[in-house]
Structure formats: C-alpha cells, structure tokens
Amino acid sequence: MGLLKFDSIDIIHNDVRIEWANLDEGKNGKYDENDPNDINMLRFYVESLNIDGKGDGSEDDWEQIDDASHCTQVPANTTNFELYLLLSILMSEIYQKVVDCKSINELCRQLSLIHPSWINKRCRTGMLRLA
C-alpha cells in the first residue's frame, strides 16, 4: 500500500500552531507496511510564534515547543476533515497553557491517545460544535 502522504495540515490560533506529521510511525515503532496488523499513525507537534519583534510571521518564525511532539492513535488515512476537527480538539486543550507559558509536556502525553472516535464523543457532550 505504501506510506500515505499529505500536504501540511495545521491549525493556527493567534501565536500557537499545531500540525500533523506523518513520520512513518506504527504501533510498535517504525511503520511496517508489510505487516497487515500495523497502522501508520500520525504525530502532532505544537509550535509558538517567535515574537521577538523581528519576524514577519513566516515559517522561520515558528519554534517547536519542547516535549510537545507525540505520536497518536490517529491513522494516517483519516480524512482531512476529521484531522482538522482533531486539531481543533488539541488546540482547545493546549492553547491557554502555551499562552500562559506553562509546561504542556504531560498534557501532550495524555493527548497522544487522541483518536478519530474523540470527535463523536466531543460532539455528544457539546465540547465540539460543528458550524
């Protein structure tokens, strides 16, 4: 089947960006496309905009936050629409801590369990609303 690739999928809220990356990760480390039980999983990472006053908001101005990159339970073949919804969930959990300059390491570790099934759970509880 081969590794699934996609253009960059990210979400930006003010000075925080969360992006999906496909780094060829599977259930037990490196994704094995020859193993029918393995699943190519996506990783998210969190960045903040460097606001040193010299930047113009270009790609070079984004800095990855330490310990804020984790492999997830999100299969690489998840639809773009679902990926955007999942990024919205991540942003709703992470944003304020980044703005408050608090560590997000443990939170991101917990959020690495994110899965497309979270969309339905969040919609049912009213924590995610589709316009």
Mean pLDDT of successive 10-residue segments in the chain (131 residues)? 63 95 92 94 93 57 92 94 94 93 94 92 65 47
Contact in structure between 81 and 11 (CB atoms under 8 Å): no
Output the pLDDT for position 1.
44
Q: Is 94 exposed, middle or buried (0-12, 13-18, 19+ CB in 10 A)?
A: buried
Q: Indicate the pTM of the whole model.
A: 0.84
Residue 98: strand, helix, or coil: helix
Question: Would you list the domain boundaries of the chain?
Answer: 9-125
